[in-house]
């Protein structure tokens, strides 16, 4: 299997990105990775690789890349040789089975739609993040592909998320919930309310509305919301982790008695919080486009890139795109 | 000072509501509370009160109340004698200086607008929750009064929130931020983007966009968002607290070595999480209506009701409604 990896996207590119490719190639003997970006920087980054690994890492050079603060649509149209764009074009041409980028989210979404196109019937794509909770993995969709949604978008996120969880992550009969500002039917605005009515008729295990408090409790396998809300939520979790950790450290310096407890406890807490940390999962599939596109977190280091490559690999192995296409056909959308 | 308290609103009404009134009256010798609701139940709930307290607790009987799952507008129009409605009418008539309810949020918002009316110039009211963070109190506005917003709504939440933090909570020159799906100017939908342009011209310390991760880190005094996003976020915090606590308890049962640490640590963690817990604050002012209306959490027990009465009292003392009215006049909205 050949995957194209945008070597220039993310806060730690290209060093950590290349390292991640090396880690993944050392794990999966059938995997080949095309690193797209500045050739000389990439060469330097991978120069320590074992021959067993390096023979499966290919470099495609380009000088252009899209920065985090660029307007995705403008940059994507202007920079025909941007690393992220070239990686997507490899998927389109069949030179790669999937692509991964830790760069500009907007560019990944806009590019996915422009280069690969949408699956017939899909109105807008959705980014679905699998959040590892104590009792299950919950897919939160969308987390930033489609900022404001129409009812049909929320409906399609639900259907695509259900198919992804059932087939790629192996959840039998996933429970699908719609995020709202209350559990009662009278809650939600017209968009959420209309999506609810549509989902109630769909051939899935639809649980109706859930509230924000239900997400961490792991009540559903798929939680559907617009990209604005999902993005705010996901980043909020990140911030709580940072804030809580800082708070605990400050506390430790001020207290004497529980210090002994703290020393035992901090590593455990770190591990526990890690379960909430979506970076560990490493990759978010862009569902609804005609090809495998995985968005990795902007702060991704090698470990996260390795995970993102695994997500892409699983998506290819399970024929994720075909399953969504078939699922939509069957669903009579 | 006389405050009207909806004795029938919330999960623990009327017992805990009445108890909360007794606690507050024992603390503030100038405070009188009118308990509105089922007279015989209220009488039973307050029968143990000291004369010093009971002489300042008045009962106004009514059989009607609005349940949590009722449609706010319909219920409010139909039930002319609903406890929450009568409490608001006391504020309108001047019989009380402010009112508090732990009941149906939609009814509090709809009722506030219907009975007391909006402050001239205000398009829609906003519920502002002060969240106690390690380094400051951050007001999150709106958390459910106005589910989807126009730019003018977000703009007005920012102005009202700034006035509330500066005058009632005593923050000098509060920093005001707009919640978005990224820090860069290109982020946000048209509504958020337009609100940003409006706020950039306002005479406040406007910080631009912040992301979800910045909220727990306490980067701003006022964080502005639509009621849907704010409601989801606030309840999500509640859920994380519950989930984390459960997770830690489960862990303790499985591990041997760090148990000693756990025993020292759990009370501390509980206290720390409590700082994030908005219930402790107990009351959320409905900003933008012509009178003091405080929404208490539906799960409020006596302690939270006591806090909500304090919030109402402070709002009255600091002439919160007048300050918003004057602030809007000055701001040239």
Under an 8 A CB cutoff, do B232 and A225 touch?
A: yes
Under an 8 A CB cutoff, do B71 and A242 touch?
A: no
Task: List, for residues A116-147, the tens digit of each pLDDT value.
Answer: 999 999 999 999 998 888 788 999 999 999 99
Q: Where are the beta strands (DSSP E) in chain A?
A: 2-6, 32-37, 57-61, 98-101, 126-132, 137-141, 175-179, 205-210, 222-224, 284-287, 292-295
- Is A238 touching B (CB cutoff 8 A)? yes
Q: What are the distances in angstroms from CA A207 to CA A66, B142, B237? A: 40, 27, 22
Give yes or no for residue A53 having a pLDDT over 60.
Answer: yes
- Is B233 touching A (CB cutoff 8 A)? yes
Q: Within chain A, how many helices (H) and strands (E) appear?
A: 12, 11
β-bridge pairing B57-61 and B98-101: unpaired
pLDDT at res. B257 = 47
Q: Which residues in chain B are closer than 8 Å to A262, comparing Cβ atoms?
A: 261, 264-265, 268
pLDDT at res. B70 = 86
The count of other CB atoms within 10 Å of the CB of residue B43 is 13
β-bridge pairing B2-6 and A292-295: unpaired
Give yes or no for residue B276 having a pLDDT over 60.
Answer: no
B134 to chain A: nearest residue by CA?
A247
Band (pLDDT 50/70/90 cuts) for residue B333 is very low
Say which of B69, B106, B260 has its CB closest to residue A264: B260
Token pair 């807008």 is found at: A124
DSSP letters, A193-218, are: HHHHHHHHTSSSEEEEEE-GGGTTTT
Stated pTM of the model: 0.88
Q: Which residues in chain A are closer than 8 Å to B228, comparing Cβ atoms?
A: 180-181, 189, 192, 229
Task: List, for residues A173-223, the tens digit of each pLDDT value.
Answer: 999 999 999 888 878 899 999 999 999 999 999 999 999 999 988 999 999
What are the residues whose beta carbons fall under 8 Å from the beta carbon of B299, sequence distance 6 or more? B10, B11, B12, B279
pLDDT at res. A257 = 47
Q: If you average pLDDT over residues B72-87, what whole number do you get?
A: 93
Lowest mean pLDDT among A69-73, A165-169, B28-32, B100-104: A69-73
pLDDT at res. B200 = 95
Q: Which residues in chain B are closer than 8 Å to A269, comparing Cβ atoms?
A: 269
**ipTM of predicted complex:** 0.86
Q: If you average pLDDT over residues B137-160, what whole number do you get?
A: 95
Band (pLDDT 50/70/90 cuts) for residue B299 is confident
The count of other CB atoms within 10 Å of the CB of residue A298 is 17
The whole-angstrom separation of Cα B130 and Cα B137 is 6
User: In angstroms, what separates the C-alpha of A288 from chain B's closest C-alpha?
Assistant: 21
More confident call, B84 vs A249:
B84
What are the residues whose beta carbons fall under 8 Å from the beta carbon of A12, sequence distance 6 or more? A299, A300, A301
Give yes or no for residue A258 having a pLDDT over 70.
Answer: no
Share of chain B above pLDDT 90, in %: 70
pLDDT at res. B252 = 65
More confident call, B210 vs B282:
B210
pLDDT at res. B186 = 77
> Cis before residue A71, ω within 30 degrees of 0?
no
- Is B184 touching A (CB cutoff 8 A)? yes
A142 to chain B: nearest residue by CA?
B181
- List residues bridging with B179 in a β-sheet: B210
Band (pLDDT 50/70/90 cuts) for residue A299 is confident
Cα dihedral across residues A312, A313, A314, A319: positive or negative: positive
Residue-range domains of chain B with CATH: 1-122+288-319 (3.40.718.10), 127-280 (3.40.718.10)
CA atoms within 13 A on the CB side of B206: 20
Q: Which of A144, A265, A271 to mutate to test the interface with B (most CBs of B within 10 A)?
A: A265
pLDDT at res. B147 = 93
pLDDT at res. B332 = 44
Q: Which residues in chain B are closer than 8 Å to A295, comparing Cβ atoms?
A: none
Give yes or no for residue A281 having a pLDDT over 70.
Answer: no
Contact A4, A91 (CB under 8 A): yes
Share of chain A above pLDDT 70, in %: 88
């Amino acid at each position: 299997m050949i995957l194209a990896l945008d070597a220039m996207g993310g806060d730690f590119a290209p060093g950590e990105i290349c390292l991640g490719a090396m880690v993944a190639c050392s794990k999966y003997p059938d995997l080949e990775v095309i690193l797209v970006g500045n050739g000389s920087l990439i060469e330097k980054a991978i120069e320590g690789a074992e021959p067993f690994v390096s023979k499966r890492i290919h470099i495609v050079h380009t000088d252009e890349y899209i920065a985090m603060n660029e307007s995705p649509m403008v940059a994507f149209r202007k920079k025909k040789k941007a690393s992220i764009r070239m990686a997507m074009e490899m998927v389109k041409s069949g030179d790669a089975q999937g692509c991964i980028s830790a760069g500009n989210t907007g560019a990944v979404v806009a590019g996915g739609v422009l280069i690969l196109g949408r699956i017939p019937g899909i109105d807008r794509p959705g980014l679905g993040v699998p959040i590892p909770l104590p009792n299950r993995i919950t897919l939160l969709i969308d987390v930033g592909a489609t900022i404001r949604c129409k009812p049909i978008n929320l409906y399609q996120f639900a259907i695509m998320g259900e198919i992804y969880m059932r087939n790629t992550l192996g959840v039998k009969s996933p429970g699908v919930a719609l995020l709202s500002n209350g559990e009662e039917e009278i809650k939600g605005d017209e968009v959420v309310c209309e999506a609810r009515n549509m989902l109630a008729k769909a051939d899935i295990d639809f649980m109706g509305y859930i509230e924000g408090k239900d997400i961490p409790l792991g009540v559903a396998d798929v939680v559907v919301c617009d990209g604005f809300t999902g993005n705010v939520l996901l980043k909020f979790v990140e911030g709580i982790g940072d804030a809580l950790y800082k708070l605990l450290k400050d506390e430790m310096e001020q207290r004497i008695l529980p210090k002994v407890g703290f020393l035992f406890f901090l590593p455990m807490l770190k591990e526990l919080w890690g379960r909430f940390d979506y970076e560990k999962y490493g990759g978010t599939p862009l569902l609804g486009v005609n090809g495998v596109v995985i968005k990795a977190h902007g702060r991704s280091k090698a470990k996260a890139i390795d995970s993102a490559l695994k997500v892409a690999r699983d998506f290819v192995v399970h024929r994720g795109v075909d399953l969504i296409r078939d699922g939509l056909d069957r669903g009579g959308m």
